[in-house]
């Protein structure tokens, strides 16, 4: 029999727990990890194993063991220590600061009983220190709208979607995003979004595992909608022009253990009938800076983003769009900003007052992947040469929301005798049929008197899975949206395409890139 001393470490314990365990002869490291004592501790505390170490007499210290050591034989009177992580259930809430960019924030759900508790948990995050509440909203599925939460004492429901709006100081901003965009001068460039002095965020890492704490300031992350543009984790980004630099910050592939993956299965759909550029920008959740870049012509939309560029050709056309997001002036007129896929929706506009139109924007999110930048494995891959050779880079991609976004816009060109009210009503009914198919919630009956063949369809999507063709008619779009979830499962290992990116300023890595003098 082999008698061993086992030390157990956890972030929730002030001191390690020591146990003597007896294992049969010929037992291996794998047998140790399967012993009942360890299983009981893990089950009782919802622990996972972070690392395993064995004491080596030759070095007089503990050394890390890997999977390659799983078959190592255990000798009598050996010492081992295990470091645990505690898996904490988290809730994702969308937070907007000063009306600029919306970001997803995960907070522990353990002690959240009310909406007020949720708000307090968000405000405890280091990146929101010193900020105050503007308003809290939640999504009403019956009306498909965000509604204000006046009583923060109401019960918290993890099945609901919450949106928290914060302000960084006592000042208020009387101008809406739309007003700011309207006042955007033709010859202005987007504001410099590079963080000069990012607010540091404490990264908790067990000292025994990493002797020197790595503190990457992460309080100034920004998000950017993908609009059909494809980028990898670690890719450099120029926030001045809102473009990717086609170069990675790291000199090797990021280890899988350093990439966190969270399932975010969710489908939402919104209607847009005003056909104004401000409504399109809002429905596609474009951040204020990206809105400015789009209006300034610095980016070209692709995929579903083409919806932004649609135009009506007649004053008597009726059109409507359904933007289905399935859970990612001067320069714009010059065509410098390219959007792909669903981003082409941004480029569509009316060209006649005899049109009626409406859009459906459908968003299906599947998975959120992010880099654990506070680990020595990631810091060791930083490439000063990449930054030096890409002086325009300001940020790096540290998170990707995967999924699919599809936009369907219906347009009806009416004549003098057509009753526009009937056309608009039929337009809404047909878009609801498409939406019902996207939600997989049965069949919506089209009882309108206007035939579908009288409507033209513009359908945009970031990527077309399995070689399917984009629908050309209302009937085809209903069938396409019904099978879209299954099509996404076959695209890119079930992830789909990027919906939005989370970006971290390069200045956050200043300590580890101190040989580079191009960092702001």
DSSP, residue by residue, 230-254: ---TTEEEETTTTEEEEEESBSSPP
DSSP alpha helix (H) spans, 46-164: 115-124
The answer on 372 and 324 residing in a single domain is yes
Measured distance CA(519)–CA(50) in Å, rounded: 34
Lowest mean pLDDT across 91-95, 268-272, 486-490: 268-272
pLDDT at 333 (0 to 100): 34
Q: Taking residues 368-383, report their average pLDDT.
A: 87
Q: Give yes or no: residues 265 and 165 share one domain.
A: no
Greater confidence (275 vs 104) lies with: 104
pLDDT at 309: 54
Would you say residue 339 lies in a domain?
A: yes
Whether 344 maps to a domain, the answer reads yes
Q: How far apart are CA 77 and CA 85, in angstroms?
A: 26
pTM, whole model, 2 decimals?
0.49
**DSSP secondary structure string, 184-245?**
--TTPPPP----SSPPP------TTT-SS------TT-EEEE-TT----TTEEEETTTTEEE
Q: Which residue has the higher pLDDT, 502 or 327?
A: 502
Same-domain status, 266 and 326: yes
Query: Do residues 78 and 131 share a domain?
Result: no
CATH number at 74 reads: 3.10.20.120
Residue 427 domain flag: yes
Per the CB < 8 A criterion, the answer to whether 45 and 119 are in contact is: no
Are both 446 and 429 inside the same structural domain? yes
230 in a structural domain: no
Same domain flag for 375 and 289: yes
Pair 321, 459 in one domain: yes
Higher pLDDT, 234 or 341: 234
Overall average pLDDT of the 424-439 stretch: 78
Burial of residue 420, with CB atoms counted within 10 A of its CB: 0-12 exposed, 13-18 middle, 19 or more buried: middle
Altogether, the residues listed in the chain come to a count of 520
Per DSSP, the three-state class of 53 is strand
Looking at the structure, do residues 331 and 362 belong to the same domain, yes or no? yes
Share the mean pLDDT of the chain: 74
What pLDDT, on the 0 to 100 scale, is given for residue 207? 33
Residue 240 in any domain: the answer is: no
Q: pLDDT at residue 96 above 80?
A: yes
99: left (phi over 0), alpha (psi -120 to 50) or beta: left
> Do 382 and 445 belong together in one domain?
yes
Measure the CA angle with vertex 366, ends 365 and 372; round to 5°.
105
Give the tens place of pLDDT for each residue, 285-313: 555 555 555 554 545 555 555 555 555 54
pLDDT at 13: 83
Domain count of the chain?
3
Closest among 433, 427, 421, 429 to 409, alpha carbons compared: 427
Q: Do 336 and 300 belong together in one domain?
A: yes
304 contacts 459 by C-beta, under 8 angstroms:
no
Q: In 3-state terms, what secondary structure has residue 76?
A: coil
Tens of pLDDT, residue by residue over 181-229, are 343 333 333 344 343 343 333 333 333 333 333 455 555 788 888 877 8
Same domain? For 366 and 496 the reply is yes
Res 237: pLDDT: 93
Q: Cβ neighbours of residue 418 under 8 Å, at least 6 residues apart?
A: 316
Examine the domain organization and report whether 48 and 103 are in the same domain: no
448 or 39, greater pLDDT: 39
Compare 483 and 316 and report the one with higher pLDDT: 483
The answer to which of 361-365, 383-387, 414-418, 486-490 has the lowest mean pLDDT is: 414-418
- Please count the CA atoms within 13 angstroms of the CA of 456 that sit on its side-chain side: 14
Indicate if the pLDDT at residue 6 is higher than 90.
yes
Please report the pLDDT score of residue 244 as a whole number: 92
Lowest mean pLDDT, pick from 86-100, 136-150, 399-413, 447-461? 447-461
Rg from Cα positions in the chain: 27
**pLDDT value, residue 502:** 93
pLDDT at position 179 is 40
Compute CA distances 517 → 103, 234, 504, whole Å. 30, 20, 18
Q: Which of 104-118, 168-182, 476-490 has the lowest mean pLDDT?
A: 168-182
User: What is the span of the domain harbouring residue 44?
Assistant: 2-86
Cβ-Cβ contacts under 8 Å for 510 (sequence gap 6 or more): 519
């Amino acid at each position: 029999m082999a008698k061993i001393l086992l030390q157990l470490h956890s972030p929730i314990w002030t001191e390690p727990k020591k146990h003597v365990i007896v294992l049969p002869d010929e037992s291996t490291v794998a047998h140790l990890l399967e012993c009942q004592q360890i299983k009981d501790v893990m089950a009782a505390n919802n622990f996972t194993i972070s690392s395993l170490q064995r004491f080596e007499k030759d070095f007089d210290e503990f050394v890390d063991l890997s999977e390659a050591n799983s078959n190592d034989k255990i000798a009598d009177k050996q010492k081992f220590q295990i470091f645990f992580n505690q898996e904490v259930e988290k809730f994702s809430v969308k937070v907007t600061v000063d009306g600029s960019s919306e970001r997803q924030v995960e907070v522990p759900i353990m002690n959240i009983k009310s909406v007020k508790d949720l708000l307090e948990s968000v405000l405890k995050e280091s990146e929101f220190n010193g900020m105050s509440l503007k308003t809290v909203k939640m999504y009403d599925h019956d009306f498909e709208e965000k509604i204000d939460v006046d009583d923060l004492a109401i019960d918290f429901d993890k099945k609901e979607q919450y949106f928290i709006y914060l302000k960084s100081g006592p000042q208020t901003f009387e101008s809406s995003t739309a007003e700011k965009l309207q006042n955007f001068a033709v010859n202005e460039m987007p504001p410099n979004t590079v963080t000069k002095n990012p607010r540091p965020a404490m990264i908790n890492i067990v000292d025994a595992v990493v002797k020197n704490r790595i503190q990457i300031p992460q309080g100034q992350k920004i998000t950017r909608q993908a609009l059909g543009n494809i980028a990898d984790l670690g890719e450099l980004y120029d926030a001045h022009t809102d473009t990717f630099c086609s170069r990675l910050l790291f000199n090797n592939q990021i280890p899988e253990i350093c990439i966190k993956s969270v399932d975010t299965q969710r489908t939402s759909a919104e209607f847009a009938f005003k056909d104004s550029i401000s409504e399109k920008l809002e429905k596609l959740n474009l951040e204020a800076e990206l809105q400015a870049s789009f209006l300034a012509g610095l980016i070209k939309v692709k995929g579903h983003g083409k919806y932004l560029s649609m135009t009506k050709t007649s004053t008597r056309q009726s059109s409507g769009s359904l933007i289905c997001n399935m859970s990612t002036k001067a320069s714009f007129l010059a065509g410098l900003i390219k959007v792909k896929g669903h981003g082409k929706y941004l480029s569509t506009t009316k060209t006649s007052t005899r049109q009626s139109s409406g859009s459906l924007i459908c968003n299906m999110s599947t998975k959120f992947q992010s880099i654990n930048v506070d680990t020595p494995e990631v810091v060791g891959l930083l490439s000063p040469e990449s930054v030096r050779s890409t002086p325009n880079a300001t940020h790096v991609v540290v998170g990707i929301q995967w999924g699919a976004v599809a936009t369907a816009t219906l347009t009806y060109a009416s004549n003098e005798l057509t009753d526009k009210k009937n056309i608009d009503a039929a337009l809404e009914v047909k878009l609801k049929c498409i939406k019902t198919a996207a939600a997989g919630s049965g069949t919506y009956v089209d009882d309108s008197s206007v035939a579908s063949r009288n409507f033209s369809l513009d359908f945009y999507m970031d990527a077309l899975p399995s070689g399917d063709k984009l629908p050309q008619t209302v009937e085809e779009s209903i069938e396409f949206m019904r099978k879209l979830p299954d099509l996404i499962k076959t695209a890119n290992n079930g992830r789909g395409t990027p919906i939005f990116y989370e970006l971290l300023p390069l200045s956050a890595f200043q300590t580890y890139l101190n040989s580079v003098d191009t960092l702001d």
